[in-house]
Amino acid sequence: MMSEQPAGVVSGLLGGAAAAAPMMLFGAAVDAMMGGLFAAVLISLWLPAINDRIKSGVAILLTALLAGYAAPVTADWLVATHSGFSHTQTLRMLIAIVIGLACPVLVPAAIEGGRRWLLKGWQQ
């Protein structure tokens, strides 16, 4: 299987950005969404599991939304629970980029693991 061509990833980026734009009205952090969006585009160019435009768009959209909502909450939690962290914009953006890099890799693996687990349960 080949990874998605850059043109497919660009169309996924445009679709993901257009669909993520209304989420700003629902409280998503725009800077974290853009950081997650950028990281998801980079990883989608390389990842063999994302091999068509629909998968590319969905991966980029979900990653941007997860980064937009989870990065500020995670940064606040880290600052509140661990004394070694200070609340800065850099921490929030670092978490958003880590989410953007990890989500397109972990979600297909989790889906495949869940599918195998369900099939194993049905066979018993």
Distance CA 103, CA 118 (A): 22
Residue 1, pLDDT above cutoff 50:
no
Model confidence at 95, in pLDDT bands (50, 70, 90)? Answer: very high
Is pLDDT larger for residue 97 or for residue 14? 97
Listed residue (15, 39, 35, 47) closest to 91, CA to CA: 35
Structure tokens belonging to residue 104: 């397109």
Residue 21, pLDDT above cutoff 70:
no
Q: Under a CB-based contact definition with an 8 Å cutoff, are residues 95 and 75 in contact?
A: yes
Model confidence at 15, in pLDDT bands (50, 70, 90)? Answer: low
The full set of domain ranges for the chain reads: 6-123
